[in-house]
Amino acid sequence: MSEWTTAGLWLAVVASGVYHGVNPGMGWPLALSAGLIEKRADALYRALGLLAAGHFLAMLGVLLPFGAMLTLVLWEREIRIGAGLIVMSAGLYLLLNRRHPRTLARIAPAQLALWSFAAATAHGAGLMLVPIYLGLCRAAETDAGHAAAAGLMAGNLVTAITVSVVHATAMIVSGGIIAVVVYRWLGPGFVSKSWFNLDLVWALSLILVGAIGIASVVG
């Protein structure tokens, strides 16, 4: 796999993180609320840190099982196609079912890390990374054959952690910038007047990412 392809995959990791960060469904309005309620900027930053931790754990929880699979070496093509189909199915489900998971409403506002983990999991944020991650694992493969399976698995686990870190960082930086700008200059009224609903875009994005993942295998 060429260096340009690998760079494109890492760019997709960052871009999806920015996309998740901009989406209010991933929690930046909660950080904004924390800052406004306590009337202190450090409350906003603390909330952003908790949201980042929860989102990171959600990404890692989805990617680590794939990284731990020795069968990824033997069944790489089938796994990537299956992962693409799962992501597309999640997008179709969210497209048809627009209701937000009720479980999120039962989590106390103070438990931001738990809420962030649950929100990212429920909305399929981690699933969006799977086809990209598998492509990066493919990019790291050598021609050493099955003898390199253990080494590849170790590399895949490191890649899973790295992807999760890069993605969560991009997510919280982009969402944090919006929260800070609204907190310091625009005011909370900007959100209600100027923001738009990303639910439809989110569902379509999952379908698109899944389709691209499958196309990269069969193409």
Q: Convert the pLDDT of each residue in 86-129 to its tens digit.
A: 999 989 988 888 676 666 767 876 799 999 999 999 888 888 89
- Token pair for residue 30? 């909660």
> Which residues make Cβ contacts (< 8 Å) with residue 162, sequence separation at least 6?
none
What was the pLDDT predicted at 147?
46
Split at pLDDT 50, 70, 90, the class of 71 is low
For residues 91 and 66, which has the higher predicted lDDT (pLDDT)?
A: 91
What was the pLDDT predicted at 159?
87
What's the whole-number average pLDDT of the chain?
A: 83
Q: Which domain holds residue 131?
A: 3-218
The number of domains in the chain is: 1
For 97, what's the count of Cα atoms within 13 Å in the CB-facing half-sphere? 11
String of DSSP letters for the chain: --HHHHHHHHHHHHHHHHHHHHSGGGSHHHHHHHHHHHT-HHHHHHHHHHHHHHHHHHHHHHHHHHHT-THHHHSHHHHHHHHHHHHHHHHHHHHH--SPPGGGGGS-TT-HHHHHHHHHHHTTHHHHHHHHHHHHHHHT--SSGGGGHHHHHHHHHHHHHHHHHHHHHHHHHHHHHHHHHIIIII-THHHHHH----HHHHHHHHHHHHHHHHHHHH-
The reported pTM is 0.84
